[in-house]
Amino acid sequence: MAENNEVALVGLAGKVALITGGGAGIGRSIAESFAAFGAKIAVIEIDAARAEAVRGALEAAGVEALVVAGDADNVDTVNAAMAKIEAKFGKLDILVNNVGDFLKMGGPFGNSTEDQWDALYRVNLRNMFVVTRASIPLLRKAGGGSIINVSTIEAFRGIPKLTVYGAFKAAITGFTQSLAVELGPDHIRVNAIAPETTNTEQVKATPRVPPANKDYVKHFFPIGRFGEPEDCAGAAIFLASDILSGWVSGTTIHVDGGALAAGAWLQLPDGGWTHLPIIDRDGYAPPKSQ
């Protein structure tokens, strides 16, 4: 638990937060960070082992928590979870829509299939619709609250061979902005977080970079490293708090180490900068033998 003065400053104590995909990675970091500031936590997690792991961690920390093992895309599962939240907590103050994945479906768009489109839609956008719709009555019952949608920096730039994934992530921006306008009169704020490459169970970025290529990372990210789940948790704390962000709605925080702002600009080993195409391979791939 954070210090008492920090808890008061953030204003999450006693709030009820639901995090989808909260069993690992960014979702779990957000859940545990909210709990550290006194929030009560509900989690929907599709992976049963991860659901049990986060349940045990929250209970061990003395957090009042509810963990539902199930699919955030399933309407019956989500409606049942909302009923359990209402029965246990009586309200909902914060929703974090964290579920998303590219499902290893990279490749040319011309070779993609309708089944792939549908699968990417369900995991990256439809579940957000399902959970958000079900949460609105409880958020209204609380007198307002905060919805936080976890997107990706790829929603704001092109991503080759993941075109459908990028399209659904870009749609989160429109969903966030439109819903912010619609729910504003109910005192419900709606924002998004767009992370760059972050070390999670899905993406283990740092270990993939060979030692010989480790300097590539600091040249690509102005801040000089990949993201960590705690980086997104910090942004989520800000957006969840009416004290810190009570007049912030309809916007996206880019949690990207400055990568989007840099665009094509890369830092050279001598400290200079270039936007010329001098990189000859993927930084994850080891150098070619001479």
Please report, for residues 13, 36, 127, 168, 278, the alpha-carbon distance to residue 118 in angstroms, rounded to integers and kept in the order given: 39, 37, 12, 11, 38
pLDDT tens per residue across span 215-264 = 778 778 899 999 999 999 999 999 999 999 999 999 999 999 999 999 88
CATH of the domain at 126: 3.40.50.720
Domains in the chain, number: 1
Cβ(20)–Cβ(27) below 8 Å:
yes
The answer as to whether 35 is a domain residue is yes
Give the model's pLDDT for residue 290. Answer: 44
Cβ(1)–Cβ(36) below 8 Å:
yes
Residue 86 structural domain: 4-210+223-263
The answer as to whether 285 is a domain residue is no
pTM value? 0.93
Give the model's pLDDT for residue 269. Answer: 75
The answer as to whether 201 is a domain residue is yes
Contacts of 116 (CB under 8 A, 6+ apart): 103, 105, 164
Give the model's pLDDT for residue 43. Answer: 98
Confidence bin at 1 (pLDDT 50/70/90): low
User: Is it the case that residue 142 has pLDDT exceeding 80?
Assistant: yes
The answer as to whether 47 is a domain residue is yes
The answer as to whether 269 is a domain residue is no
The answer as to whether 286 is a domain residue is no
Q: Mean pLDDT, the chain, as a whole number?
A: 93
pLDDT tens per residue across span 169-217 = 999 999 999 999 999 999 999 999 999 999 898 888 888 888 877 777 8
Look at the block and give the residue holding tokens 């270990």. 207
121 is an active site residue:
no
The answer as to whether 273 is a domain residue is no
